[in-house]
Amino acid sequence: MSITIQEVARRAGVSTATVSRVLNQSDKVLPETRERVLSVVNQLRYTPNTNSRSLRTRESRIILVILPNLSNPFYSEILAGMDACTRDSGYRLLVTAHGASAGRERELLGLLHQRQADGVVLMSPTLPAAELSAINAQFPVVQCCEYIEDIGVSYVSVDNYTAFYEATAYLIRAGHRQIAMSSSANNYPSTRLREQGFKKAHADAGLPLDPQRIRQGSYSFESGYENMQVFLKHKQRPSAVMGISDVVAAGCISAIMNAGLSVPGDLSVMGFDNLDMAKMIQPTLSTVMQPRRRLGRAAVELVLERLQGCQEARELLLPHELIIRHSTR
């Protein structure tokens, strides 16, 4: 049916070993033999069978990507970066969601042992640290965006602490004294870091911070909406609010407008992520840009690097950027 290396060898009048050598540009082959083989390869449009190759070499040239869910647009741009990075590397991406189930995540990581994947990018690990670093000892593991620190597992992310600090400081410099934050109840390091940045900016400015000013919830639009409704009822209404994500910030804006107030006239709103959406809403959303494409690209690069043999764990924080649009003043 399909063309095999035998066929190529036969037509080129060499052994399969030689064809293999030519294709893997490894060993010494006489230039003229190489030419002969290559011309047959091109003529026959031969491509090696990946299964037999993987069977032999114990590598699949596939990188596994595990994220909590696929429906969140935050991830799409990151995936695009990974995909682009993968393109000419000979590797491919196997993308799946774990749906917040550690069991499912464990099952997926089983693909590594089955040699169905050579390495993995985790977008938000649900597994305990010990398990993670055990796997990392055997296979390249890279954490992207969300990560557990100091367990010897590489990660690439942004500096959530500083980013949130800067965004908060910006609002303070702009004259805001009562700032609220619609946060999340999850245990992600990023969430904690952002809250810490928020607090530190207050502390450094000598501003008191009423604990009621931080409300937890989720990363959803609805959560932003509901938290904002509560903030609006506080006796001392905040003059600005930070969303832990753009989507949450959009929820805040909706709540504000539905209460008959205006943004940024009555309240300023700041988001986080710089989704495409941020420039589409009215008013356009001030936010902190995460370089999502580059995050994806870097994550895959780190996996590739380890596949190349590099052993050391890398900890990359890519530059974020405060983007001021029209939802703040």
Partner DNA sequence: TGGTCGAGTGTAATGGTTTTCACCTCTTGA
Partner DNA sequence: TCAAGAGGTGAAAACCATTACACTCGACCA
What is the binding site for DNA (CB under 7 A)?
1-2, 4-6, 13-21, 23-24, 26-30, 33, 46, 48-49, 52-53, 55-58
Minimum distance, C-beta of residue 65 to DNA, in the bound complex (Å):
25
φ, ψ of residue 290 to 5 degrees: the values are -100, 130
Helix (H) or strand (E) run with residue 197 in it: helix 189-204
Minimum distance, C-beta of residue 104 to a copy of itself, in the bound complex (Å):
9
Cα separation, 308 vs 61, whole angstroms: 12
Examine residue 238 and say whether the peptide bond preceding it is cis (omega within 30 degrees of 0). no
Strand 321-323 and strand 287-289: the pairing is antiparallel
Structure tokens, 221: 């639009």
Among candidate residues 85, 84, 87, 65, the one with its CA nearest the CA of residue 75: 65
Which amino acid, one-letter code, is at 38? Answer: L
Choose among DNA, a copy of itself, none what residue 251 binds, the Cβ cut-off being 5 to 8 Å by kind: a copy of itself
Helix (H) or strand (E) run with residue 74 in it: helix 73-86
* Count of residues interacting with a copy of itself (CB under 8 A): 46
Q: Are the beta carbons of 248 and 223 closer than 8 angstroms?
A: yes
* Residue 17 vs 185, nearer CB to DNA: 17
Q: Are the beta carbons of 53 and 115 closer than 8 angstroms?
A: no
Q: Are the beta carbons of 9 and 46 closer than 8 angstroms?
A: no
What does the per-residue mask of binding to a copy of itself show for 252-281, with x meaning CB under 8 A?
Answer: -xx--x------------------xx-xxx
Of how many residues is the chain composed?
329
251 binds a copy of itself (CB under 8 A): yes
* Residue 49 vs 258, nearer CB to DNA: 49
Minimum distance, C-beta of residue 88 to a copy of itself, in the bound complex (Å):
11
Helix (H) or strand (E) run with residue 95 in it: strand 92-97
Site for a copy of itself in 56-115 (CB under 8 A): 60, 69-73, 75-77, 79-80, 83, 92-97, 110, 113-115
* Residue 8 vs 253, nearer CB to a copy of itself: 253
What does the per-residue mask of binding to a copy of itself show for 207-246, with x meaning CB under 8 A?
Answer: --------------x-------------------------
Examine residue 68 and say whether the peptide bond preceding it is cis (omega within 30 degrees of 0). no
Choose among DNA, a copy of itself, none what residue 320 binds, the Cβ cut-off being 5 to 8 Å by kind: none
Exactly one of 282, 310, 319, 321 binds a copy of itself (CB under 8 A); which one?
Answer: 282
The residues binding a copy of itself (CB under 8 A) are: 2, 47, 49-52, 54-55, 60, 69-73, 75-77, 79-80, 83, 92-97, 110, 113-116, 221, 247, 250-251, 253-254, 257, 276-277, 279-282, 284, 293
